[in-house]
Amino acid sequence: MHPINRRSVVLFLPLGMAILWKPRLAWSQQASPAAVAASVRKASKDAEASLLRQLKLDEQLPPEQRTSQRYVSCVARALDGYAAALQTIAPTLPVHVQALPTIVAQTAQAVHSSRTPAAASAAMTAAIGEVRKTLELIKADDPPLARAEISEVRSVDETLSFLNDKLVKATGI
């Protein structure tokens, strides 16, 4: 066994094969649902603040340099940071919510590769739909136990909606 970091270990097997093993944390080592929800909210607020900072910097540019593709890039960078922040807390997320970092990362890639603001907005709208579908599945699965999970999903939904709204307003879609 060779540790990669505190959360994963590589197991070398015969015939040159290797397995990356990520043990589950013991219950006493897991973060409380309130702490995890607070981490997701903080990541959401940081992504929103990042976009607002980038847009404020772009406002200082001459009008001919403020293109719609620049605004798309600002949103993509904010999504990258948001996806990275969610990936760091992914091991502590409940099972029903562990797809959220992947959804945000895929959205960031789609926004980066979009050629128009409308395509970027469409990618974000699709991601918002996925997040809301996750929310509905959590509510249907076990409503009393899902309060913290619902809070986490709503934070991601609100942040993606915020980023999409700013893109739409800035580019006039």
Give the model confidence (pLDDT) of 56-84 as tens digits. Answer: 887 787 777 767 778 888 888 888 988 88
For the beta sheet containing 8-12, the strands, ordered from the edge strand earlier in sequence to the opposite edge, are: 2-5, 8-12, 18-21
Q: Is the pLDDT of residue 23 over 60?
A: no
The model's pTM is: 0.72
Instruction: Give 118-137 pLDDT, tens digit per residue.
Output: 888 899 899 999 888 888 88
Q: What is the pLDDT of residue 13?
A: 52
Pairing between β-strand 18-21 and β-strand 8-12 as defined by DSSP bridges: antiparallel
Band of pLDDT at residue 14, cut at 50, 70 and 90: low
Averaged confidence pLDDT in the chain: 76
Expressed in angstroms, the distance from the first to the final Cα of the chain is: 54
In the block, residue with structure tokens 């066994």: 1
CA triplet 149, 108, 63: central angle to 5 degrees? 125
Q: What is the pLDDT of residue 74?
A: 84
